[in-house]
Chain A
């Protein structure tokens, strides 16, 4: 496989094709007849999937540096380039995106019946934006993709969402836009400072990273500017209030894209930019404590709030906040294990939360309600759906043998050395998350069959099975055999730790050695 990919020059064109193909398809969708729109979108998504899966083999896990690098000048007067590249972190995110894409299109097959052209065109635009964020190796390019994403998401929520959609869409855009404004100042400031010292004004990631030490004095506020943008997107505890609204009001496709990809952009930003640029400040004792503390508050608080949600989608939205807290904890745990765990949580949260949103969307299509109390005993009429939901719920809870466990376990073990008490606090969430998800499962799929309206609910059809099956397979596969993924992310994690290690106050050993011995 690797030889074949090398023979067709795969690494030269793959990233450009992945980015360009959805954009090229948009005019086609707009001029073709309406009923063709979904077919075009699906075709593009499947092509992207087939091409994108090649990354799994073409990517060299032994090489921790950026691969598939492109560097073409774009705005020369300003040192901006069309610079792309991927490493072990971004390759996983890219794969996650290309895998989600056809599922999202497929899940919207019947549920979107108005303005189909616009819907699928926006989905494709969203795809380009998401991929762009993960492969951009130029801060200007990154910022452009980062912001451009807002437009398709805004219209997806605002136009195809449920009753309170305008409020949710506006809140989402305003939070993200305002959050990232200071990042713009910070990026330009970095380029200016580094340029003044080195004589090269360039937005290239590698260039800025290599000279980030020059920014020691302004590091604190630069980090704050970056962190604010990413914290809103993750979202970290006090900035999370846009998420339940956006998730709840968005159409299924929007919720899934939001959960699987968009939230990961924030944590990706921390791992790629915020911490490696300013490790001295970011990993100092006090900042570390604040970030890890907020992460743990978010983990526990969101789980408690999820417990009392009457709306299924809102419940899952809060569970997202809780899960993403683990990623932040893993990043600040600052060991190879915790960082790998963080990446793993990013992947497995995508699988399990994506699947939960798909199933809730299917329920909504059938009954036009998401309220838990409207359901009950569905397992009797929809056994397949119940099975899928139970497996997904278990994976989300973190049951050993399924994917959720691997990441969270790695994070807890890796971060224990640095923050033993916080990790102990975070562990309690296993109880809470079991409580809210199992309780919800019980009230929706088990209990007594009380509501006669639920009689007509059909079980999963073939299309829906096809949407869920890849995700369920992924959950089991990662749960049982996470090695291949861990091997691919290890280089990036090691590289990251090497970068930040000199700035760590003390090197934790407890969890680290224990795990290394165990593998």
Chain B
């Protein structure tokens, strides 16, 4: 189906998933403003928000099913498989986080159902960011996402750490947005366009100018902040640790995925002519991020901090896939992000169930003997650790395999070797978690007696863990899908560029 994006009706059709979710979020906000007193109210709103996610997934599915394609240039939003794939993943993250928050918030004494509204609006922001075909839409999405997530981070007002994390994230995030905006302005000055494809055409046709180069540089810095690549990562550990655990999952999975989807699109569509310029930058960022993230993670005692540094390291691996600048590389970004996201959600989901209201953050040593008390939780978390490590038999391994293949196909050897060195270091902090859970004895008799795992959260985590294992052995469907979608991202830009 061809959609004319210049007409209001066409634009509305193309934005259907975002519109559905935003509209539903407003309805839920209205409901929440009447019912925000008791734990039951909070649960009720939570269920409503999950309905919203389901509706938005259906809208995305419909767009993909009718095969919506833009008539001429994609204005404002892209209409391609890459967008549908990223939307599905992002909606899935939002829904899963809503499920994980259900009952968890009440247990922590956070009764303010607007939480779910913010979650939905943040998801809308991520979708706009990942699907934007235009710098302005992209910035809009980024800000919508960021502002909602700042609030979510500081949502546990009674805890100092949470408030501190919210403030920190806000300050750094505003800084990063400034970089991005300045970069966008410079690019507009250099090319006269906001549209990614048009910028790409303009930049490929002319000699590189200083203004365009500076714009690219500022864009990369802005995104490096958002994905927490070293040296722009300093905010991540404190913010991840301070935020309510489901929100941490949302940040580690959703924000990172959305930013990578957007970065992949920008680099493929707007800057194919500047490959020689941005490749070395990505390579240096990737190497530093992988090494620093993994080495510092070794020293962590707290689970959330350890996972924060591991998330930094994974951003480094993903940068390598972007570096490849090929269909294989884009496919690797898709696959690796899927693997990483599913694993992260499951890991934080299990972690959230272990946390107690008002208690300090969970240390790795707190997990000792978990297997004896909660064998399934321990096995699930072990599978997550193995998947993050990239162990065969898990989906993480398929991701790692693709990731290594992308730069190797371009004849680059150093980056994959650095990635493997990083992976070798990472066993030093993933294995102790498994060791503590399965092989160490329980410390005190009262340990692990306070674990509360609500049924919906259990189901969400179980689906994730099963997906990790099944896709680790039989990834064909996902791989075929990703390799087809990745080609689309390129094919869309090519005819317009060559014209």
In the complex, how many angstroms separate the beta carbon of A10 from the nearest chain B beta carbon? 27
The residues of B that contact A165 with a CB separation of less than 8 Å are: 439
In the bound complex, do residue A166 and residue B439 qualify as a contact, i.e. CB atoms below 8 Å apart? yes
Docked-complex contact B413 and A189, CB < 8 angstroms? yes
Chain B CB within 8 A of A181 CB = yes
Verify B480–A148 contact, CB threshold 8 A.
Answer: no
Q: Which chain B residues border A182 with CB–CB below 8 Å?
A: 417, 420
The reply to whether B427 and A185 contact each other, CB–CB distance below 8 Å, is: no
Question: B272 an interface residue at 8 Å Cβ cutoff?
Answer: no
Is there contact, CB below 8 Å, between B408 and A188? yes
Chain A 459-495 interface residues, beta-carbon cutoff 8 Å to B: none
Pick from A172-180, A207-215, A250-258 the stretch touching chain B: A172-180
Q: How many angstroms from the CA of A177 to the CA of B421 in the assembled complex?
A: 11
In the complex, are the beta carbons of B405 and A188 less than 8 A apart?
yes
Tell me if B420 and A181 are in contact (CB < 8 A): yes
Q: A185 contacts which chain B residues (CB < 8 A)?
A: 404, 408, 413, 416-417, 420
Total number of B residues with any Cβ neighbor in A under 8 Å: 30
Interchain CB contact under 8 A, A159 and B427: no
Contact A144 B420 (CB under 8 A): no
Distance in Å: Cβ of B313 to nearest Cβ of chain A: 14
In the assembled complex, which residues on chain A have CB atoms less than 8 Å from the CB atom of B393?
A: 144, 148
- Report yes or no: A174 in contact with B435, Cβ–Cβ below 8 A: no
CB <8 Å contact, B476 and A76: yes
A501 located at the interface, meaning its Cβ lies under 8 Å from any Cβ of chain B in the complex: no
- Alpha-carbon separation in the docked complex, A312 to B479 (Å): 51
Report whether A155 and B431 are in contact in the complex, using a CB–CB cutoff of 8 Å.
Answer: no
* Residue A75 is within 8 A (CB to CB) of chain B in the complex: yes
Interface residues in A143-176 (C-beta closer than 8 Å to B)? 143-144, 147-148, 151, 155, 158-159, 165-166, 169-170, 173-174
* Interface residue? A40 (CB, 8 A): no
Q: Would you call A184 an interface residue if the criterion is a C-beta within 8 Å of the partner chain's C-beta atoms?
A: yes
Tell me if A515 is interfacial: C-beta within 8 Å of chain B: no
Known: A174-B431, A182-B420. A147 touches B391 (CB 8 A): yes
One digit per residue, 1 when the CB lies within 8 angstroms of any chain A CB and 0 when it does not, for chain B 364-395 equals: 00000000000000000000001000011100
Closest to B484 in A: A77
Q: Are B435 and A166 in contact (CB under 8 A)?
A: yes
Contacts A144-B393, A177-B424, A178-B427: A158 and B435 contacting too (C-beta < 8 A)?
Answer: yes
Given known A75-B475, A173-B427, A178-B427, contact A184–B439 (CB-CB < 8 A): no
Tell me the B435-471 residues at the A interface (CB within 8 Å).
435, 438-440
| Residue numbers in B under 8 Å from A148 (CB-CB) | 392-393
Q: Is A78 an interface residue (CB 8 A)?
A: yes
B435 to nearest A CB, angstroms?
Answer: 6
Q: Are A155 and B420 in contact (CB under 8 A)?
A: no
Q: Which of B408, B423, B438, B475 interacts with A192 by CB under 8 Å?
A: B408
* Chain A CB within 8 A of B61 CB: no
B278 within 8 A of A: no
Chain B contacts of A178 at CB under 8 A? 424, 427
Contact residues in A for B435 (Cβ distance below 8 Å): 158, 166, 169-170
Query: Cβ of B300 < 8 Å from any Cβ of A?
Result: no
Interchain CA distance A144-B397 in the complex, whole Å = 9
Interface string of A67-85 (1 = CB under 8 A from B): 0000000011110000000
Complex contacts, A159 vs chain B, CB 8 Å: 438-439
- Return chain B residues, CB-CB under 8 Å to A158: 435, 438-439
Q: Chain A contacts of B438 at CB under 8 A?
A: 155, 158-159
Which of A155, A177, A192 has a CB less than 8 Å from the CB of B409? Answer: A192
Contact status A173-B405, CB under 8 Å: no
Q: Which of B463-491 contact A (CB under 8 A)?
A: 475-476, 479-480, 483
Contact B479 A181 (CB under 8 A): no
Q: Is B427 a contact partner of A174 (Cβ separation < 8 A)?
A: yes
Contacts of B483 in A (CB 8 A): 77
Interface size class of A (residues with CB under 8 A): 20 to 34
Q: How far is the CB of A138 from the nearest CB of chain B, in Å?
A: 13
User: Which residues does chain A contribute within 8 Å of B405, judged by CB atoms?
Assistant: 78, 188, 191-192
Q: Is B428 part of the contact surface with A, judged by Cβ < 8 Å?
A: yes
Whether, in the assembled complex, B401 has its beta carbon less than 8 Å from a beta carbon of chain A, the answer is: yes
Closest to A221 in B: B413
Collect the chain B residues with CB atoms within 8 Å of residue A184's CB.
400-401, 404, 420
B476 touches A177 (CB 8 A): no
Cβ–Cβ < 8 Å partners of B428 in chain A: 174
Q: Judging by beta carbons under 8 Å apart, are A181 and B423 in contact?
A: yes
Residues on B with C-beta less than 8 A from A76 are 476, 480
Which partner residue on chain A sits nearest B472 by CB separation?
Answer: A144
Please determine whether B420 and A77 come into contact, CB atoms closer than 8 angstroms.
no
B420 and chain A: residue at smallest CB distance = A181
Q: Could you tell me the distance between the alpha carbons of A158 and B434 in the complex, rounded to whole angstroms?
A: 11
CA distance A93 to B385 in the complex (A): 32
Binary per-residue interface labels of chain A (285-299) against chain B in the complex, 1 for a CB within 8 Å, 0 otherwise: 000000000000000
Within 8 Å CB of B475, what residues of A? Answer: 75
Instruction: For the complex, give the distance between the alpha carbons of A140 and B472 in Å.
Output: 13
In the bound complex, what is the Cα–Cα distance between A475 and B184 (angstroms)? 77
Closest chain-A Cβ to B157's Cβ sits at a distance in Å of 42
- Given the known interface contacts A158-B439, A174-B427, the answer about A188 and B401 at a Cβ–Cβ threshold of 8 Å is yes
Cβ contacts under 8 Å, B391 to chain A: 147, 151
Which residues of chain B come closer than 8 Å to A188, judged between CB atoms? 401, 404-405, 408, 416
A158 to B424 CA separation, bound complex (whole angstroms): 20
Do residues A189 and B408 form an inter-chain contact, with CB atoms below 8 A?
yes
CA distance A165 to B424 in the complex (A): 22
- What is the CA–CA distance of A334 and B440 in the complex, to the nearest angstrom? 48
Residues on B with beta carbons closer than 8 Å to the beta carbon of A192: 405, 408-409
Q: How far is the CA of A75 from the CA of B399 in the complex (A)?
A: 13
Tell me whether A77 and B476 are in contact (CB under 8 A).
yes
A76 to B475, CA, bound (A): 10
**How far does the alpha carbon of A155 sit from the alpha carbon of B400 in the complex, in Å?**
24
A185 to B422, CA, bound (A): 13
Cβ–Cβ contact A77 & B404, under 8 A: no
> Shortest Cβ distance from B336 into chain A, in angstroms?
14
CB distance from A25 to the nearest CB of B (A): 18
Q: Given the complex of chains A and B, what is the CA–CA distance between A400 and B483 in angstroms? A: 61
**How far, in whole Å, are A257 and B492 apart by their CA atoms in the complex?**
56
Q: B440 contacts which chain A residues (CB < 8 A)? A: 166
Give Cα A326 to B397, complex, Å.
35
Task: Give chain B residues whose Cβ lies under 8 Å from the Cβ of A177.
Answer: 424, 427
Question: For B404, what are the chain A residues with a Cβ–Cβ distance below 8 Å?
Answer: 184-185, 188
How far, in angstroms, from A178 to B424 measured CA to CA in the complex? 5
For residue B408, which residues in chain A have a CB less than 8 angstroms away from its CB?
185, 188-189, 192
Q: Complex formed: what's the CA distance from A300 to B404 in Å?
A: 40
Distance from B301 Cβ to chain A, minimum over Cβ atoms (Å)? 17
A290 to nearest B CB, angstroms?
Answer: 22
Give 22 CB contacts A-B under 8 Å. Answer: A75-B475, A76-B480, A77-B476, A78-B401, A78-B479, A140-B401, A144-B397, A147-B391, A147-B392, A148-B392, A151-B391, A169-B439, A170-B435, A174-B428, A178-B427, A181-B420, A181-B424, A184-B400, A184-B420, A185-B404, A189-B408, A192-B405
Seed contacts A76-B476, A144-B392, A173-B431; 8 additional CB < 8 Å A-B pairs: A77-B480, A151-B391, A155-B439, A169-B435, A169-B439, A174-B431, A185-B408, A185-B416
Which residues of A are interface residues toward B (Cβ below 8 A)? Answer: 75-78, 140, 143-144, 147-148, 151, 155, 158-159, 165-166, 169-170, 173-174, 177-178, 181-182, 184-185, 188-189, 191-192, 196
B interface residues (Cβ-Cβ under 8 A, vs A): 386, 391-393, 397, 400-401, 404-405, 408-409, 413, 416-417, 420-421, 423-424, 427-428, 431, 435, 438-440, 475-476, 479-480, 483
> Top 4 nearest A-B pairs by Cβ distance?
A144-B392, A181-B420, A178-B424, A77-B479
